[in-house]
Amino acid sequence: MNVIVYTTPTCPYCHMAMDFLEKNNILFEEIDISKDDEIATDLIKRSGHIGVPIIEIDNRFVAGFDEEKIKALLYL
């Protein structure tokens, strides 16, 4: 499973989401989208969301730290 967490440096919900994934032993990549406008613009277009965290799980997007949705997509 390919999991990416898109974040900004000052976003508490991003930290909560990453803590949650770590606790459940899910490997993920963190991408700070405040550093790269191109990545941010592309992500906003692909996901339809402006706001972090955005969690991408095998090309499906979860907006915000929505524990239930994340669990469902990860079969936890």
Interacting residues toward other proteins by CB under 8 A: 8-16, 33-34, 37, 40, 44, 48-52, 63-64
Tell the smallest beta-carbon distance from residue 33 to other proteins (Å): 7
Q: Which is nearer to other proteins, 33 or 57 (CB)?
A: 33
Taking the complex as a whole, the smallest distance from the CB of residue 12 to other proteins amounts, in Å, to 4
Nearest distance from C-beta of residue 60 to other proteins, angstroms = 15
What is the rounded distance in angstroms from the CA atom of residue 31 to the CA atom of residue 52? 11
Angle between helices 67-74 and 12-23 (to 10 degrees): 40
8 exposure class (CB count in 10 Å sphere: 0-12, 13-18, 19+): middle
